[in-house]
Amino acid sequence: MIQLAANTHAMAPWMWSPEVWWTLFQNFLALSLMAVGGAITLVPDMHRRLVVDAGLLSDADFTSAIALAQAAPGPNVLFVALIGWYSGGVGGAVLSMVGIMLPSTTLALAASRWVSARKSWLSVQAFQAGLMPVTVGLLLATGCHLAPSLNVAPKALALSVAVALIVWRTKLPLIWLVVAGATLGGLGWV
């Protein structure tokens, strides 16, 4: 692994480095097949590999990439391209997306064809049911990793818990929670 200074969005010379691109590609290629429930479930491991171990981007850039991609319309996996962009420019964005998409897409296509032909098998139904708690666990780990620290932002943590409870216990349209969060942020509460 290479160790680089945290990125501040400036187009540093190392952003055009094939070594950085190769590091991004390898990491996302390795993570791709573990993306049960989507790439967002891999956030804790991505953080460890890319921020802590390789030093390709800062904590702030990592969190910003996820927040920006989640706020934008489109596929959930867009944060991978932003992480690649922040770490290695255009080449980093492209190779990060190829790395995260190629193995999982190939496996998903093959598996969906195989399962489709055998959907009445009890073992196939049991396997599909068994993936649900795995996905929920990975999403909870991601939420814990992205949640604000109690010491740093107690109001933001309280808001996160409140939103989670509202989503879990009501059928309130999510857009109202986004509007409420934006309003509280705009007012300086969080």
- 126 vs 114: CA distance, rounded Å: 15
Which residues constitute the domain of residue 34?
13-120
- Do 143 and 168 contact (CB within 8 A), yes or no? no
In a domain, 171, yes or no: no
For residue 1, the model assigns a pLDDT of 45
| CA 106 – CA 155 distance, rounded (Å) | 43
Which residue type, as a one-letter code, is found at position 124? V
- Residue 136 belongs to some domain of the structure: no
Tokens standing for residue 143: 């939420």
Residue 140 included in any domain: no
Query: What separation in angstroms does the CA of 53 have from each of 3, 40, 155?
Result: 7, 19, 30
Interatomic CA distance for residues 3 and 52, integer angstroms: 9
Give me the tens of pLDDT residue by residue for the chain, a chain 190 residues long. 444 444 444 445 556 688 999 999 999 999 998 876 678 888 999 999 999 999 988 988 998 888 888 888 888 888 999 999 999 999 999 999 999 999 988 988 998 899 889 989 999 999 888 988 888 888 888 778 777 666 667 887 788 888 889 988 999 998 898 888 888 888 888 7
pTM: 0.61
Count how many domains the chain has.
Answer: 1
Annotate 112-151 with DSSP letters as a single string.
HHHHHHTTT-HHHHHHHHHHHHHHHHHHHHHHHHHSPPTT
Evaluate whether residue 100 is within a structural domain.
Answer: yes
Residue 163, C-beta contacts closer than 8 angstroms, at least 6 positions apart: 177, 181
At residue 155, the 3 state secondary structure works out as helix
> Per the domain annotation, does 99 fall within a domain?
yes
Ramachandran assignment for 78, one of left (phi > 0), alpha (psi -120 to 50 degrees), beta (any other) = alpha
Whether residue 186 lies inside any domain: the answer is no
Structural domain contains residue 68: yes
Spatial separation of the C-alpha atoms in residues 133 and 152, rounded to whole Å: 31
* 103 inside domain: yes
Phi-psi region of 10 (alpha: psi -120 to 50; beta: other; left: phi over 0): beta
